[in-house]
Every structure is written in structure tokens, then in C-alpha cells.
Amino acid sequence: MTATAAENPLLEGLNVRPRPEPCTLVIFGASGDLTQRKLMPALYALAVRHLLPERFAIVGAARSDMSDEDFRERMKEAVQEFARDDFRQDVWDTLAEGMRYTTLVGSENQDEDSLGRLLDEVDRERATEGNHVYYFAVPPAAIAALVREVAARKSEKGWTRLIIEKPFGHDLDSARALNALLRERFDESEVFRIDHYLGKETVQNMLALRFANGIFEPIWNRQFIDHVQITVAESIGIEGRAAFYEHAGALRDVFQNHLLQLVALTAMEPPIDFTSESVRNEKVKVLRSLHTPGPKSVVRGQYGRGFVDGEEVPGYREEEGVSRDTGTETFVAAKLYVDNWRWADTPFYVRTGKRLARRETTIAIQFKRAPHPPFEEVAAEALRPNVLLIHVQPNEGMSLAIGAKAPGLGLSIRTVHMDFLYGSAFREGLPEAYERLILDAMLGDATLFTRADEIEEQWALVDAIAAPWQRDRPAFPNYAAGTWGPPSADDLVHRDGRSWRRH
């Protein structure tokens, strides 16, 4: 008898997705790190699963001088190093067949004709019908000129879509200006502002968890939930990005986008359906309801020298390219309130930082304690409240903490965890966020992308938080690398009789 692997019923229908229409993907910034580490590996993964259009091309565009063959070879090396799938020559050959490259020169005076002629040529050769997706993997300063160039060659022949990487502006005024430029030349349905966190499986599963399960939605409110904690922690430093990070800091780099998007998904009301506009309408309502925290409800920090994973690492001011007296924050914690009926007086404690104890992104929903636990005297330990812990990274899944009787003749209560991990439940490698987001943009599905009004609401809150920081100079550094941030972040929660979770 031949043994066969047991079928996993949870896998049924996982890869049933429509294929996009024929199109060309133009990557501005094709010689950069993002393209090599994320975009090309994502495209290769889509090719492995036959999810790319049948007629498809990739046009790389950057200031680096390369031939088509150089570009293909560099992208091949990137796929071999960073892709989640084993390298297959047949898949690569099919993908590389439609890859071309053009060199961009200048900023305001781009070589429009060169790119335009190449796209016309690719459209003819690959039969992509004039459908173009432009991926802006470039610094914010280069976006406006490229948007004008793309708008100038937009035609009625096919459709045009723009994928714009974060950061989208550096404050409310710059975000509004960029939105205005885009509105002048493109419809909102053609603009896809990417936040890769929204492409993660667990973040998407927040919608299913809340609205597909009758046991959660009735208790997802201030009457049953004591508070919410959201942590976006990184153990790495700035990884040579001093030029960017000195102007951004933790508030603009992560808080403005990733953290606030997680807050919005956690707190949003049920949408009337799961179309992009309905989902994003509810997220905007949350962002508009966020109460601007006062100075006592916000903590900022900057890491000093310390130890991460047993190795000594330099402080932020010792990083290459960083000013020795810089006031840039590498940590932010805040207590936020969503001023609506569902969440009135329920605090959302959020924090993000560099060089913290470990890399993790979690959403912890802590429920209120049972009003009269009859087991207090016989409990083996202090009974903890129920917590629904959602792991966004590195190990995607969720855990529910409940009280249960320990085995034995006596009555002894302990806290146990019911765990669900994607990897073990589905026995299927999880797609990278960029795979889902690139495919959605090709399909014209904007559900997991940020709308113009969302961006502006996020920046309005961030600007209000940062405004008082202009008047004082903090005593930095105030936490050691490898810890969970400055002591004042613990005080922020302790004042309310609570504490940060140490997962």
C-alpha cells in the first residue's frame, strides 16, 4: 500500500483568485533595495503560482546605468537570495523574457521619450494592451516629477494605476499637496498608497475574526474590553538609513502608518460589505474619532548603547550619519482614545521602537475581569483576565488566554492558552505582504490600500502630537538597546493600574 500525505481541508480554495488583465509593471527605483528584497521576490512568487497575467512585462527604471541583460541578472540574483520559493529556471525564464530596463536622467527633466518609446515597444511585443502599473519605489522628493511624467503619457488605450510607497509626505501639508497633485491628474481609483502591513495575513484576518465569528462581535466594545495594546517592536537599528530616519523618526516612520492602521482595523465598525470603499469608510471614521493625546499621554525615547541577542550594539547617536546631539526619537508610546459609543473611555496603548528586546508586532485585546470569580481562594496563581493576542509578526497567528482547571483531585485554576498559528494550521507557506498587494493593484482592488482622506487624518494626528516637541529638547538617550523602551513608557501604563504585556 502506498502511503499518501493526509489532505488538509483548510487548504481548499486557497489559491482560487482571478488573474489580472494583461499589463506592464513599471518599477521606478528598480535598482534599489526594496525592488531586490521585496518586489522581485514577490513577482517571482506570483509567477510560481500562475497568478500573474498571461501577457505580462516588467520595465525597470532608475538612474543607474544598466542594460536589459544586467537588469535581468541582478533581479535573478535577488530572487535566488530573497524569494520564499526554491529557484526554478523555467519559471524565471518565463518571467525574464518580458523584463526590460531604461535609465532615468534628472528629476524634473526625465527622459520621457525613452520610457515612452520603451513602453510602446513592450506593449506591442507582449500584447499588454496599454495597461500600465507604475510602482514608485523612490524617495518622496522624486514622486511629484514622476507623477507628472506618468500623467503626461496617460492615454485612452488602456488603464493606468499608481502604487506609491510610504512615506506619503512628511507632514499634513506635504501629504495634502501630493494628494492634490494626484487628484488633478488621476482618479482616486487609480492611486494605490501602499502600507505593506495591510498585506499581512493576520492583519487581513482581523476582519474575518471580528465579522465572521458571532462570539466576538457582541463583546468587542467598552462594556467587555478593558483596554487594547498594540506593539510594533523592532530589534534592529536604522540599518544605514540615517539620511531618512533623521528626518522621520519613529513617529513618522511607523506610528503614522502601521500603528494607526492597526488601531483603525481593531476599532472599526462592521462595514456594509467588503468592497474597498466600505472598508475604508469605516477606517476613516475611526481615525477621525481619535482624540489627540496630551503631552502626558505620549512618551518618546532614543536608544543608547546596549545588548541585543547577546551582542553589544551602538546607541543611535553613534550610528553612521547621525548627529551626535540629535533629538530624533527612535521610540514612541501613546495612550489613545477613540471617541465614539463603542470605545468611549477604553484606552488604546500603542508603542513602537527600534532596538527593542525583540522583533514582534502584536495586538492584545484584554477583556475585563469576571465580576465575581468564585475560585480566587483555590487558584494556583492570581487569575488573569482573558486576553485575545493577535500575532502579526514574526509568527502569524493568535492566542486566547482562558482560565482552566489543572489536572488533579483538587480544584486548581490556571491560565492556559488556545493557540492558532497559520503555519501549522494550513501547512502552507504564507505569502509575503507584497505578493498580495501587487496582485490587488493589478486587479484594481484597493481594499488594502490607504485612501487620501485616511492619509490626511493620520498626518493631522501626528502633527498634533509632534507640535509640542518643538518647544523642548529631551534628555536622550533614555533607554538602552535591548530593553523595552524608556521607564516613562511603563509609567504611562502603570498610572492606570495596568502594565505592558511581556509576551
Residues noted as catalytic: 258
DSSP 334-370: EEEEE-STTTTT-EEEEEEESSBSS-EEEEEEEEPPP
Q: Which three cell numbers stand for residue 235?
A: 530589534
Q: Is-contact 503 360, C-beta < 8 A?
A: yes
Query: Could you tell me how far CA 128 lies from the centroid of its own chain?
Result: 30
Phi then psi dihedrals of residue 183, to 5 deg: -65, -35
DSSP 216-246: TGGG-STTTEEEEEEEEE-SS--TT-HHHHH
Q: Which three cell numbers stand for residue 375?
A: 475560585
Pairing of strands 160-164, 132-136: parallel
H or E element, residue 247: helix 242-250
Q: Is-contact 115 84, C-beta < 8 A?
A: no
Q: Return d(Cα 250, Cα 329) in angstroms, integer.
A: 6
DSSP 370-423: PSS-TTTTT-SSPPPPPEEEEEEESS-EEEEEEEEEPSSSS--EEEEEEEEEHH
Measured from the Cβ of residue 230, the count of other Cβ atoms closer than 10 Å reads 23
Q: Which three cell numbers stand for residue 221?
A: 466594545
Contacts of 443 (CB under 8 A, 6+ apart): 18, 20
Distances (CA, A) of 79 to 15, 30, 72, 236: 22, 14, 10, 23
Q: Which three cell numbers stand for residue 278?
A: 466600505
Q: Angle 452-466/276-289 helices, nearest 10 degrees?
A: 20
Query: Could you tell me how far CA 354 lies from the centroid of its own chain?
Result: 16
H or E element, residue 333: strand 331-338
Q: Return d(Cα 85, Cα 91) in angstroms, integer.
A: 11
Q: Return d(Cα 357, Cα 502) in angstroms, integer.
A: 10
